Amino acid sequence: MPTTRLRTQVTHTRDVEEALRIARSLWPDESPSALLLHLVVRGGQAIRDEQAQNARARRGAVDAVVERFAGIYPEGYLRELRADWPE
C-alpha cells in the first residue's frame, strides 16, 4: 500500500517469534504485521506507564526527604540571617 510514512522491517528472531506467539493468543485472526503493530503499541503504553510510575516513586521519595527535614530551622530563620547581611 503506498504511503509517505517510514516503514520498518523486522527479522523474525526467536524473541520476535515468541512475542508473536504470545500476541496470537490475544489476537488469533491477525496477520503477523498486525500482531507486530499490537505489540509495538502495547509496548509503548507499558513503557509510558512504567516511566510514570517511576516518576511518582521519585516524587514520593523527594516528598519524604522534604518532610523529614521540615521544621529543622525555625520560622523566619532565613529572614533573620539575612538581616545581618549588608545591602
User: DSSP secondary-structure letter at 86?
Assistant: -
Q: Which three cell numbers stand for residue 23?
A: 500476541
Cα(48)–Cα(53) distance, rounded to whole angstroms? 9
Tell me how far apart the 2 most distant CA atoms of the chain are, in Å.
78
Per-residue pLDDT of the chain (87 residues; tens, 9 = 90+): 788 999 899 999 999 999 999 999 999 999 999 999 999 999 999 999 999 999 999 999 999 999 999 889 888 888 888 988 877
Q: Would you mind telling me the total number of residues written for the chain in this entry?
A: 87
pLDDT at 80: 87
pLDDT at 57: 97
